[in-house]
Structure 1
Amino acid sequence: MMSNLKHKHTQQLGREQLQHLLTVLRGEKKAELKLTNLSVLDLVNGEVLPGPVVIDQGYIAAVGPEAEVLQAKRSVDCNGQVAVPGFIDGHMHVETSTMTPFEFERTTLPLGTTSIVCDPHELVNVMGKQGIEWFLRCSELMVQNMFVQISSCVPAVADLDINGSDFTLKEMEAYLEHPHVLGLAEVMDYPAVIGGNPAMLNKLAAFGELNIDGHCPLLSGLELSAYRASGIQNCHETTNYQEGKEKLAKGMAVIIREGSVAKNLDALAPLITDYSSPLCLLCTDDRNPHEIAKEGHINYMVKRLIQQHKIKPHLAYRVASWSAARHFGLDRLGLIAPGYKADINLLTDLEQVDIQRVVIGGQFVDELKLDELVSDKLDSSAPPLQATMRHNVVASDELAIPLTPGNYHVIEIIKDELLTNLLVSYYNGRKFDQPGINRLAVVERYGHQLPPAVGLVKGFGLNRGAIATSVGHDSHNIVAIGADEQSMAQAINHLLAIGGGYCVVEDGTVTADLKLPLGGIMSLDSSEAITSHIIALKVAAKNIGVTVAEPFVQMSFLALPVIPSLKMTVKGLVDVEKFQLIELQVEAPL
């Protein structure tokens, strides 16, 4: 059985690999590569040590003065740079970058992200096991280490939403032995865990020998103890210091997130100390190409930790690599030391995080010609490109909200958070007692032809037109926000026509869009082209009054019924605190 972590990708050297490496260490043969004139950051002792670094068969043979005597076929002068381990993104969804895995690799590998732990539940929600099988095929074609967690909650919460496909435990178990599978992806249905739901416990038991990732925003006390006792090992949904401290004290790793909307780094950076750093990891979760191009990826988080939060460099680089490797049981990743995979970032300055070159598996990334290989790799992976937008054209009157005087539940967004507030606002027959309330619709897109679910949202600021997306976590139905039903219907129908994506409507015209033909959630374009579209979408959204920095990412999470407090699915408004559907209009007290 390969369900043992020791048999996973990067974990073992083949016999011939090891034999050759040993002959190098005995001085009998030349290594493949020797990095000279550099120093090495020791993440264990917190020191900067002298080089060189000798690499053979993709793994590190020796480091430091002892490596001086070893010969290599190729020697590279690193001009006094500092070597740090390649970065590991501890939890993310490639789909929410809107890039294919190969385009993601091309974009983030030069930024120093040499390994990712991804959960493809976005695509699995759209098309079931076809989605996960494609991701596993991609993982085998990639240079970047892509580890794939098996999606645990499809849909996120049963009975509260409709998605594109089931994903049964029997199907999940088929991937236990795959070398790129490390375990079970984020377990979002924490009430099922705490309540001892038999189906949920069966999933936890099936993956008990591997990693089990968590998702428990604001959970505390005995409920958090129950969740942790079940075997769940981490959480990336932590949003405040005390919440993080409690999770750490209970032996749960805190994966600190800085995505395009959910920005928790500032609140959680104080958690990182010499004591806690083994249980602190970094992740992006959901980060789009525009943010990556403008700021960076994991390298951006490391820089912020050092420069803004005054975290010691060895701790900042530790949580970006070795802590994640240890947490996931990846014994040959995360350090620059003998027997570790040669995934190395070369910098001129530790505090600036100015990566000059990246080495992965003993190869320089800038010599791999990743740009030229994206198209061929994508073709070889046989991507599932079937149509997934199967709802009939939506009429504007289907989106009407029959408002009468009274109190209404409103979803209020919170800046830089996926959390929302449950707001109650009074409508007097002409207007609400609070400004900035827009119409919201969620439209099922998998062919059931359900009428749209309609509601109200505060915080986007639209004063005309509409915006819409087919990226609606996690079931990925269409989400639209607008000032009027006609604009919303036009935006929704445009997405149905183009096979999914983002769009903005102003004065009866689609002023910007981005096509996402792969599952209605991913583009086949380059990150640069996607970024260009996102910039145009942001401008178009701003023109109709949108004040949110990342409107399409923000709105996509309005449909996720596992993050408090109020969300909306195709079935209606969901009170996430109670995990139950509620009416749009508040019942008058008796």
Structure 2
Amino acid sequence: MIKENLRDLIDAGMAKIPADIVIKNGQLVNVTSSEIYDADVAIYRSRIVATGDCEAYIGENTQIIDAQGKFLCPGLIDGHLHIECSKMSMTSFAKAVVPCGTTSIVSGLDQYLVTAGLEGVRDVLDEISEGPLKVFWGLPFTTPYTLPKSTVGFDVTPEVHKEVQKWPEVFGVWETVSEFVENKHDGVMGAIETAQENNLPVFGCAPMTTGERLNGILSAGVRLDHESYDHKEAMEKIRKGMFLLVRESSISHFLNENMKVVTHINPRVARRVSFCTDDVIPSEILENGHMDKLIRMTIAAGVDPITAIQMGSLNSAEAYRIDHLVGSISPGKIADILFVDDLREFSIDKVIAKGKLVVNEGKMAVDLKAPARSETLSSRLKIPAITAEDMKVRTDIDADRVKVLSMEVDYDVPFVRKRRDVELKVENGVVLPDVENDVLYATVVERFGKNGNKPVAFVSGWKLKGGAMASSKAPDDNNIMCIGTNSEDMALAINYIAENGGGQVIVKDGEILDFIHLPICGITSDIEPEAMAAAERHMKEVARELGCDLPDPVFYMCCLQITAIPDYAMTDLGAVDFHTQQTFDPVLGKTE
């Protein structure tokens, strides 16, 4: 994080050193006092040093920026974000979201961590330090996040926590999944105990957690949560002392439901509510915005603009205990300032981040260059060639038809999969998919060269009429996820990704229909946001031509590896039952 000379900052604050920038003729949106009033703002290097009448701070070389009556709002904070799910590198991601007013995010950088280890994260942190977007890093509570434990490239252990929690970039323990706390997982207990010793907050992940389970999570010291599936769950968490992050992602839409805690139950709880997106894609950002979109949605839901802006800035900063650095336009804080034409429309004209004008007239005003990529961040998918024979479900049951459990995706909430019992044909010991009845093969192929796992199970909800699709970007493990109507196309899709060092692909009848190259750890790219958005839109169109009507077919597929949400998931160990936290055989037995 930025560090300025303390003595110089004091002198600058007392107007003994001229400011580098003074913003004049602005209307300051003061989120600490819930007021709007005329005020100037003085900036010295990366910090705000004065607000109000700033004539005394103007020197011979001070740059004057005329706000022309615009509202001056604090930079917005995304309180929980897996940046890598955007498929964009940190530099590309900054180009997409900083014009939307996002100047800070809280992230675990977890997908870089599981693919490239601490050395890779160090590279990414160095990249972040050179750009306008700040990342407050939470060291993941453990990796992998899965129960039972799946295969990743790097494990976060209690020993890692004892060393890395002391890094200056670490601001807490990230995404502490409730099941690990309930099970009193040894490694997670060690991470929390180390955090207590270091006075670091513990960030939670407690979907559908209420009652006695919630009490247990809170007793472990979990401070906040970003996954409430209805407003009653959200309100219980607030009543029991949690900070509530309302999630509105590209594929999970909870803002309007969760905001009822403010609009329908008690407006006074608003100061305990902030925002996050969790997972966003560039096409959604460029079409609708990022954190600015959530401000607009909250105002449209009936919340007044100052309160909505508090939720997007100060509230999040306080929840994460970073309000000494960001969250308000106040002396001593990092100079992250938005020039907004209209608070209800929340249209952003200029952005100052880290004390520099980086957005003007809604466009990036600085040329951000991605660094040369090290060998550490280069994709190394250690996968032997996959054959069609590898992509089949076999059974020892002597029968023409068998009962099978297929994991059916929820159209509205892609993290949720429900049980679907089906009957499938058996030929020569192979259980066949049933394309007409929407029962497809699914596999997760281990990519780190540790065990070669490649189990095959069944999924429903994609409605593909032919072909296969695969991705090496698949949180939380980023092993290769693939679903398909036939084994041959699945093998082709997986091999193509491995040969090209990572990406997302759709194939049909032995032909590559579409490919997005993700050469950084097999999960991100330095491609420009507009180009990535165009690639996403084209891939959605290709998937729809094959019959899939899900909002984002490939992204929904990628979420299959997430085991922290009921009822079913798929990892390199096989199909997983959330409730037993064990793998299971998808073939249940003979038909009656």
Structure 1, unpaired ranges of 5+: 1-8
Aligned pair partner of 1:413 in 409, 412, 428: 409
Aligned pair partner of 2:274 in 281, 288, 293: 281
TM-score where L is the length of structure 2: 0.91
1:135 to partner: Cα distance: 2.6
Aligned position for 1:196: 184
Q: Distance in 2 between matches of 1:500 and 1:111?
A: 29
Q: Distance in 1 between matches of 2:44 and 2:448?
A: 50
Matched letter for residue 284 of structure 1:
T
Aligned pair partner of 2:290 in 280, 283, 297: 297
Q: Answer yes or no: is 1:187 the counterpart of 2:155.
A: no
DSSP-derived class of the 1:474 partner:
coil
DSSP-derived class of the 2:20 partner:
strand
* Aligned partners of 2:250 and 2:284 also within 8 Å: yes
Q: Distance in 1 between matches of 2:352 and 2:591?
A: 65
Q: For 1:357-506, list aligned pairs within 5 A.
A: 357-366=350-359, 372-375=367-370, 378-379=371-372, 382=374, 384-402=376-394, 404-427=400-423, 429=425, 435-448=437-450, 450-506=452-508
1:545 to partner: Cα distance: 1.0
Matched letter for residue 39 of structure 1:
Q
1:315-343 deviation digits (Å, cap 9, x = unpaired): 11111000011112122311122332221
Q: For 1:468-547, list aligned pairs within 5 A.
A: 468-547=470-549
Distance 1:58 1:386, change over 3 A: closer
* Aligned partners of 2:434 and 2:440 also within 8 Å: no
Aligned pair partner of 1:22 in 6, 13, 17: 13
* Aligned partners of 1:39 and 1:82 also within 8 Å: yes
Distance 1:43 1:443, change over 3 A: same
* Aligned partners of 1:134 and 1:383 also within 8 Å: no
1:49 to partner: Cα distance: 1.1
Aligned pair partner of 2:568 in 566, 569, 575: 566
Matched letter for residue 326 of structure 1:
E
Matched letter for residue 211 of structure 2:
G
* Aligned partners of 2:8 and 2:17 also within 8 Å: no
Distance 1:521 1:371, change over 3 A: farther
DSSP-derived class of the 1:80 partner:
coil
1:57 to partner: Cα distance: 3.2
* Aligned partners of 2:410 and 2:418 also within 8 Å: no
Q: Distance in 2 between matches of 1:401 and 1:428?
A: 11
* Aligned partners of 1:387 and 1:519 also within 8 Å: yes
Q: Distance in 2 between matches of 1:402 and 1:532?
A: 39
* Aligned partners of 1:36 and 1:75 also within 8 Å: yes
Aligned position for 1:71: 58
1:187-234 deviation digits (Å, cap 9, x = unpaired): 12x333123333321110111211211112111111111111101111
Distance 1:285 1:459, change over 3 A: same
Moved more, 574-583 or 38-47: 38-47
Aligned position for 2:212: 222
Aligned position for 2:308: 316
Aligned position for 2:319: 327
1:510-556 deviation digits (Å, cap 9, x = unpaired): 11111111111111322222222212211211111111121222111
Moved more, 356-365 or 152-161: 152-161
Q: Distance in 2 between matches of 1:35 and 1:362?
A: 11
Aligned position for 1:99: 88
* Aligned partners of 1:409 and 1:422 also within 8 Å: no
Matched letter for residue 350 of structure 2:
R
Q: Distance in 1 between matches of 2:80 and 2:7?
A: 33
Aligned pair partner of 2:130 in 134, 141, 145: 141
Distance 1:366 1:196, change over 3 A: closer
Distance 1:30 1:433, change over 3 A: closer
Distance 1:589 1:512, change over 3 A: closer
* Aligned partners of 2:82 and 2:279 also within 8 Å: yes
Q: Answer yes or no: is 1:157 the counterpart of 2:146.
A: yes
* Aligned partners of 1:411 and 1:420 also within 8 Å: no
* Aligned partners of 1:468 and 1:480 also within 8 Å: yes
Distance 1:93 1:426, change over 3 A: closer
1:443-496 deviation digits (Å, cap 9, x = unpaired): 112224535211111111211111111122211111111111111111111111
Q: Distance in 2 between matches of 1:370 and 1:95?
A: 24
Aligned pair partner of 1:576 in 554, 567, 578: 578
* Aligned partners of 1:564 and 1:577 also within 8 Å: yes
1:165 to partner: Cα distance: 2.3
* Aligned partners of 1:139 and 1:147 also within 8 Å: no
DSSP-derived class of the 1:31 partner:
coil
Q: Distance in 1 between matches of 2:437 and 2:248?
A: 30
Distance 1:165 1:176, change over 3 A: closer
Aligned position for 2:429: none
Q: Distance in 2 between matches of 1:125 and 1:267?
A: 33
1:129 to partner: Cα distance: 1.9
Moved more, 407-416 or 550-559: 407-416
1:340-396 deviation digits (Å, cap 9, x = unpaired): 222111111000010000011322113797763413xx12x7462344211111111
1:60-117 deviation digits (Å, cap 9, x = unpaired): 23323x4456535222211211111100111112211111112212221121111111
Aligned position for 1:47: 35
1:236 to partner: Cα distance: 1.4
Quote the RMSD (CA, aligned, Å): 2.4
Aligned pair partner of 2:69 in 75, 80, 88: 80
1:433 to partner: Cα distance: 12
* Aligned partners of 1:436 and 1:460 also within 8 Å: yes
Distance 1:364 1:530, change over 3 A: same
Distance 1:170 1:433, change over 3 A: closer
Equivalent residue pairs, number:
572
* Aligned partners of 1:129 and 1:171 also within 8 Å: no
Q: Distance in 2 between matches of 1:186 and 1:457?
A: 27
Q: Distance in 2 between matches of 1:413 and 1:402?
A: 23
* Aligned partners of 1:160 and 1:581 also within 8 Å: no
Q: Distance in 2 between matches of 1:171 and 1:29?
A: 43
DSSP-derived class of the 2:98 partner:
helix
Q: Distance in 2 between matches of 1:472 and 1:19?
A: 47
1:432 to partner: Cα distance: 6.4
Aligned position for 1:213: 203
* Aligned partners of 1:54 and 1:60 also within 8 Å: yes
* Aligned partners of 1:499 and 1:516 also within 8 Å: yes
Q: Distance in 2 between matches of 1:435 and 1:256?
A: 36
Distance 1:74 1:372, change over 3 A: closer
* Aligned partners of 2:415 and 2:562 also within 8 Å: no
DSSP-derived class of the 1:63 partner:
strand
Distance 1:511 1:139, change over 3 A: same
1:440 to partner: Cα distance: 1.3
Q: For 1:170-185, list aligned pairs within 5 A.
A: 170-185=159-174
* Aligned partners of 2:404 and 2:422 also within 8 Å: yes
Q: Distance in 2 between matches of 1:305 and 1:491?
A: 41
Percent identity over paired residues: 25
Q: Distance in 1 between matches of 2:375 and 2:100?
A: 26
Matched letter for residue 400 of structure 1:
K
DSSP-derived class of the 1:586 partner:
strand
* Aligned partners of 1:43 and 1:317 also within 8 Å: yes
